[in-house]
A = this chain, B = another copy of it.
């Protein structure tokens, strides 16, 4: 487990697991086992949309594995989860079996209640498992995709409509930035958040999404209070944001010492700001 994060407003835990195919499969089955024993989706509250106790499992090829192998792994895991836990499984993104199921937000539309209604239709039959949700664990969505950056920008206002308006403006489905999904959510302490998924950070980098939210917020007289990453990110996503801030001309990874040395430096300490 490389990373985990959790907060009471989203009421959602994001785990980042890395390993070979058998290791990751075993770890994920353990996650399902604990979730099935401890989470009742009927009594669940939180600002983030969800359809199940183990809501979504994306398998991402990091190194030494192909996208196709991750699709095969998603299918094998889906079959096991349905068999062992009686949970209906939908395959999504690169593992989707129907075009309308590629996008997670399509599967999750109307959350568990909405999906439950659709499951009676032939085109919304689950890929594995029963045609009705598990009473406590709901439904699970499993798939394969490339790296996604979950990036949330907090606004210095308690007005949820501002966050929702900005989310609608910046997201791809509203004619905004390509490869960006966004929703507005309410946090505690007089803050709202634009919660984003960047599905192709090479095409739409972090800084462009951040700058778009900041500009839209400023237009409404609202400041950005801060931002957060959920899970881990590739270093080049952050390097590009740094090069952007510094207005560096002709920057590329060949300008980094580590690129040439093939390993970390013995530096005195990183310049992270508090």
Interface residues on chain A, number (Cβ under 8 Å)? 65
| CB atoms of A63 and B265 under 8 A apart | yes
Stretch in A97-105, A117-125, A199-207 touching the partner: A199-207
Quick one: copies of this chain in the complex?
A: 2
**What separation, in Å, do the CA atoms of A96 and B108 have in the docked complex?**
66
| CB atoms of B252 and A238 under 8 A apart | no
Is A9 engaged at the interface, CB distance under 8 Å to the other chain? no
Residues on the B chain within 8 Å of A252, using CB: 270, 272
| CB atoms of A3 and B242 under 8 A apart | no
**What separation, in Å, do the CA atoms of A102 and B93 have in the docked complex?**
59
Q: Which of A243-263 contact B (CB under 8 A)?
A: 243-261, 263
Q: In angstroms, how far is the closest chain B Cβ from the Cβ of A198?
A: 10
| CB atoms of A245 and B244 under 8 A apart | yes
| CB atoms of B63 and A234 under 8 A apart | no
| CB atoms of A202 and B268 under 8 A apart | yes
Given contacts A63-B263, A246-B210, A261-B18, contact A240 B146 (CB under 8 A): no
Residues on the B chain within 8 Å of A257, using CB: 2, 62, 147, 232-235
Is A237 engaged at the interface, CB distance under 8 Å to the other chain? yes
Residues on the B chain within 8 Å of A246, using CB: 151, 206-207, 210, 227, 238, 241
Q: 28 A-B pairs, CB-CB below 8 angstroms?
A: A2-B257, A3-B254, A3-B255, A18-B260, A62-B257, A62-B261, A64-B266, A147-B257, A147-B265, A151-B246, A202-B267, A203-B271, A205-B271, A210-B245, A226-B247, A227-B246, A227-B248, A228-B248, A228-B250, A229-B248, A232-B260, A235-B259, A236-B272, A238-B242, A238-B256, A240-B273, A243-B272, A251-B272
